[in-house]
Chain A
């Protein structure tokens, strides 16, 4: 494994672990306000300090990791769940009207940056974590659809697919049994990248109040709360920000590392 991949997995594991551990243990109860202890800088009692309600920031970051990971993961799930079948379908029916409709539909979704989709959704249905998931997820669909179609098109002209066609397998079966396993690696790598983009997007949406709503803690909201207090308590912005940066960095390194590791051509080069 490359250094990038190891570092990426290590960083990502820390935050995934923090999210899981937060279900059973956090250093302090984040629902308990302790006003006399508000805005304390990092100390032995509160490693990352406390916020304007005296809540422990480390505990909030641990619980906030759940929100970020859940939103980003579900958004990737929507993207993969709809994008991959659409891409497979488009490639299987290459040049047909369905291919054209799928690809033009993709172009259309690409014209709406995820923030704009989120604005539209929240303007109509109100802000919330679910709507943030939908907004980021919708934006992920064309990403996976295009990638799947591109990769699948290359495979459709390969001998083993021709053999499967000669054997009488339907297009749908070939897509499932032969194309999908061969593009799985690519999807895993892209999934990791979209996951990291999802974390960033969730933070951005929560920051402007379109994502998770209080009392659900989220990193973006913590930064929004910190904004007016940043001059007197910089740690309020510093630690949630570092959490986002390290998670995204970890996922990106993991994505890059996985791509190199899973690509057989690059592996041959290394050995």
Chain B
């Protein structure tokens, strides 16, 4: 297991380095000099040069990459070109919206998908199964931002149960914060729940066809007992993998949902930074998202290998 973990860790490190180089190079291609952009067209060349030096732009590309990446590793993400404040603080502030939103959505998705998938598998071919499968087909096809708009119309504007957008902040209390994130989290969770329910169903059906299930039934366990005691536990392995992968989808998907609900999260920060050409912020947020995706995949791989020894042997 240790060898496998080390091998995966090495691959993780390489992926992170290559991803950071790609992101840095893409941003480097961007036309226009941030210092000139900040100071406007009428700025004197020496003022631009002074600002370039202040922002650390007057050194070679390679040095800039090294400074950026070592800075990120230390938690220093540089200074925003547009706001002149540390990027780290800007991201940290927005994280308090985006991360809870992603976790909230992940919890909801799991809470919806598990019962739905188990129910469908236990009634394979029946009306209940067909209904769940039809609902999941629809769930996958509905764009989450459209669902968000419609839920705002129904639950915020007509019924007035929730606010239509914005985030009051966690200092107003946990309940107020959670309430503001509920509609966004539901919208974000819906398509993921549909996918997860399908995975849960098919994984459980695969298990129910296995020999050890037949043995369990032969020794006198009821269908229900076999399902809960034997099949479900084994069927959870692929489902957990998907849950891990979904976290990164949710974090990226939140970028759009935050726009619908005017939530001050990472997504809005990215869009504001794009329009202000504050590329250092874009660069850092993208790197952070990619870091999250790669790291979560790494953890999922390790968890998977921990429960399934065959996987360790194969690689």
A245, B141: Cβ atoms under 8 Å?
yes
A107 at the interface (CB under 8 A from B): yes
- The docked-state distance in angstroms from the alpha carbon of A238 to that of B31 is 39
A195-212 contact mask (Cβ, 8 Å, vs B): 1 or 0 = 010001001100111000
Taking chain B's interface residues, is the majority helix, strand, or loop, or is none over half, making it mixed? helix
Which stretch of B11-19, B69-77, B200-208 is in the interface? B11-19
B27, A124: Cβ atoms under 8 Å?
yes
B274, A119: Cβ atoms under 8 Å?
yes
Interface residues of B (CB under 8 A from A): 11, 14-15, 18-19, 22-23, 26-27, 29-31, 137-138, 140-143, 145-146, 149-150, 152-153, 157, 248-249, 252-253, 255-256, 259-260, 270-271, 273-274, 279, 282, 286, 289-290, 293-294, 297
Query: Given contacts A123-B30, A204-B256, A237-B150, are A113 and B248 in contact (CB under 8 A)?
Result: yes
- Least Cβ–Cβ distance between B296 and chain A, in angstroms: 10
Between B11, B27, B141, B249, the greatest number of chain A beta carbons within 10 A of the residue's beta carbon is seen for B141
Query: Given contacts A244-B143, A248-B141, are A208 and B259 in contact (CB under 8 A)?
Result: yes
A252, B141: Cβ atoms under 8 Å?
yes
Query: Given contacts A123-B282, A124-B26, A207-B256, are A111 and B138 in contact (CB under 8 A)?
Result: no
- The docked-state distance in angstroms from the alpha carbon of A37 to that of B152 is 26
Closest to A204 in B: B256
A208, B271: Cβ atoms under 8 Å?
yes
Between A111, A124, A203, A252, the greatest number of chain B beta carbons within 10 A of the residue's beta carbon is seen for A111
Chain A residues near B142 (CB-CB < 8 A)? 241, 245
Question: Which of B19, B138, B153, B270 touches A249 (beta carbons < 8 Å)?
Answer: B138
A213 at the interface (CB under 8 A from B): no
- Least Cβ–Cβ distance between B50 and chain A, in angstroms: 26
Chain A residues near B18 (CB-CB < 8 A)? 108
- Least Cβ–Cβ distance between A39 and chain B, in angstroms: 15
- The docked-state distance in angstroms from the alpha carbon of A29 to that of B289 is 43
A120 at the interface (CB under 8 A from B): yes
A231, B149: Cβ atoms under 8 Å?
no
Chain B residues near A209 (CB-CB < 8 A)? 271
Chain A residues near B297 (CB-CB < 8 A)? 110-111
Chain B residues near A111 (CB-CB < 8 A)? 15, 19, 290, 293-294, 297
- For chain A residues 118-163, which have a beta carbon within 8 Å of chain B? 119-124
- Least Cβ–Cβ distance between A177 and chain B, in angstroms: 31
- Least Cβ–Cβ distance between B33 and chain A, in angstroms: 14
- Least Cβ–Cβ distance between B24 and chain A, in angstroms: 11
Question: Which of B31, B153, B259, B294 touches A234 (beta carbons < 8 Å)?
Answer: B153
Query: Given contacts A119-B274, A124-B27, are A104 and B14 in contact (CB under 8 A)?
Result: yes
Known: A115-B256, A231-B157. 7 other contacts (CB 8 A): A104-B15, A108-B18, A110-B293, A111-B293, A223-B146, A237-B150, A245-B138
- The docked-state distance in angstroms from the alpha carbon of A107 to that of B293 is 11
A116, B279: Cβ atoms under 8 Å?
no
Chain B residues near A112 (CB-CB < 8 A)? 19, 286, 290, 293
- Least Cβ–Cβ distance between A259 and chain B, in angstroms: 13
B274, A122: Cβ atoms under 8 Å?
yes
- The docked-state distance in angstroms from the alpha carbon of A112 to that of B290 is 6
- The docked-state distance in angstroms from the alpha carbon of A248 to that of B270 is 28
Chain B residues near A237 (CB-CB < 8 A)? 146, 149-150, 153
B293, A113: Cβ atoms under 8 Å?
yes
- The docked-state distance in angstroms from the alpha carbon of A196 to that of B274 is 28
Between A120, A121, A122, A226, the greatest number of chain B beta carbons within 10 A of the residue's beta carbon is seen for A120
Question: Which of B27, B150, B248, B249 touches A123 (beta carbons < 8 Å)?
Answer: B27
- Least Cβ–Cβ distance between A231 and chain B, in angstroms: 5
A227 at the interface (CB under 8 A from B): yes
